[in-house]
Amino acid sequence: MGRKYKQLSQNDRISMETLLNKGHSVQEVADYLHVHRSTIYREMKRGEYVHRNSDYTEEVRYSSDKGQQTHDWNAQGKGRNIKIGNDIKLAEYIENKIVENKYSPEAALAAVATSGIEFSTTISVRTLYRYIDNGIFLKLTNKHLPVKGKKKKKNKKVQVQKRAAAGESIENRPDEVATRETFGHWEMDTVKGKQGVTKSCMLVLTERKTRDEIIFKLKDQKAESVVDALDRLERKWGDMFSKVFRSITVDNGVEFSDCKGMERSALTPGEKRTYLFYCHPYSSWERGTNENTNKLIRRHIPKGEDFDEKQDRDIEFIENWINTYPRGIFGFKTSEELFKEELEKITA
């Protein structure tokens, strides 16, 4: 009569690792645990890893911890032997990218493809979303994802303007800006902290073609603070400023009311450094790039958080994270890569 098949417990796996390391055969381990030898072979496959000896030779060994972890993954898969349960390294890499680095599932899988790390399994975006929905991961849940669900329908009806814009209307903006074919056209917005508590805000500039991001922390939401930030930016770029910042599109917020101050050069008196265009009131969709990027910022600073507590290094971290984030719209290239390519074109 054949030996009865059974599932191994965690203690069984520890005993199995000890016996194998002492040189016992698979059959001897199976006899000790009262299981068929095929059970031991399957378990060895689940928990195998490459061990490096002191003389730098390598050998394949069994880890009870890895075997147990693989078992736990598959158990969470409702009893099915799910693909990712056979590649714990891939699962942990994806978890880290989404939970710690705040990547989307699409961006996480793009990072997998370009990481240079050898994984034994591949999964699709659809499969990854299903795993997350079904609670397959140990740490990763839906709460770690960007907002899921239906997108709000854009209201493209232009409402009557209640306050005259400080400068040129978006209706007079060159067509090349709308098509995103030309580099150097930006959108600018402020991201505000907890209402009634936070005085400071973030000034966010987004280049429309590459989605490159520049973020300043402002001490307040006054127009002169915005002008001061642009002055600092012009001093940083020097003569290149007018080529890199050909136009800037803003909304009708009071912080953007000093059109002349934002347009005039701080380095060459009497000359314009850029051109400002103003959206229609209540039409944030006219700055769609800016609005979408602000959602990325909110992954790090949720609404209602006090900006006054944020240091410059915190803002720099967020800016760098956004600019090095793999973008699906660009075949998962980063904004930083594309921005550098555009700079090379205008400096060649």
Is pLDDT at 159 greater than 50 in this prediction?
Answer: no
Strands 185-192 and 201-207: antiparallel
What tokens does 30 get? 């199976």
Is pLDDT at 308 greater than 90 in this prediction?
Answer: no
Is pLDDT at 80 greater than 80 in this prediction?
Answer: no
What pTM does this model have? 0.59
CA atoms within 13 A on the CB side of 280: 12
Beta bridge partners of 207: 186
> What are the tens digits of pLDDT across the range 187-237?
999 988 776 667 888 999 999 999 999 999 999 989 999 999 999 999 999
pLDDT number for residue 244: 98
Q: Is the pLDDT higher at 328 or at 25?
A: 25
The listed range with the strongest mean pLDDT (53-62, 73-82, 256-265, 292-301) is 256-265
User: Where is average pLDDT lowest: 123-137, 237-251, 324-338?
Assistant: 123-137
Beta bridge partners of 71: none
Q: Is the pLDDT higher at 326 or at 64?
A: 326
How would you label 69-99 residue by residue, b for 16+ Cβ within 10 Å and e otherwise?
bbbebbebbeeeebbbbbbbebbebbbebbb
pLDDT number for residue 111: 92
pLDDT number for residue 279: 84
The Cα 4–Cα 267 span in angstroms is 85
- As a dihedral over the C-alpha atoms of residue 79, residue 80, residue 83, residue 87, rounded to 10 degrees, the angle is 20
Who contacts 303 (Cβ-Cβ below 8 Å, separation ≥6)?
Answer: none
Rg (CA), the chain: 28
Residue 241: phi, psi to the nearest 5? -55, -50
Would you state the CATH architecture of domain 10-72? Orthogonal Bundle (1.10)
CATH topology of domain 168-347: Nucleotidyltransferase; domain 5 (3.30.420)
Smallest CA-to-CA distance from 228 within 261, 271, 272, 189 is with: 261
Smallest CA-to-CA distance from 273 within 302, 301, 244, 252 is with: 244
pLDDT number for residue 295: 79
pLDDT number for residue 78: 45
Q: What is the pLDDT averaged over residues 64-78?
A: 69
What stretch of H or E contains 59? strand 58-62
> What are the tens digits of pLDDT across the range 29-69?
999 999 998 899 989 988 887 766 666 677 788 888 778 77
Domain residue limits, the chain:
10-72, 83-144, 168-347
Residue 148: phi, psi to the nearest 5? -100, 160
Is pLDDT at 100 greater than 50 in this prediction?
Answer: yes
pLDDT number for residue 236: 96
pLDDT number for residue 286: 57
Q: What is the mean pLDDT of the chain?
A: 83
The Cα 91–Cα 345 span in angstroms is 40
% the chain with pLDDT above 70: 82
* Residue 342, CA distances (Å) to 236, 333, 339 in order: 18, 14, 5
The Cα 304–Cα 307 span in angstroms is 9
* Residue 299, CA distances (Å) to 139, 195, 211, 303 in order: 17, 18, 17, 9
**Dihedral sign from CA coordinates of 213, 216, 222, 226:** negative
User: Where is average pLDDT lowest: 124-128, 181-185, 275-279, 299-303?
Assistant: 299-303
pLDDT number for residue 319: 94
pLDDT number for residue 310: 82
What tokens does 126 get? 């659809």
Is pLDDT at 339 greater than 80 in this prediction?
Answer: yes
The CB density around residue 172, as the number of other CB atoms within 10 Å, is 10
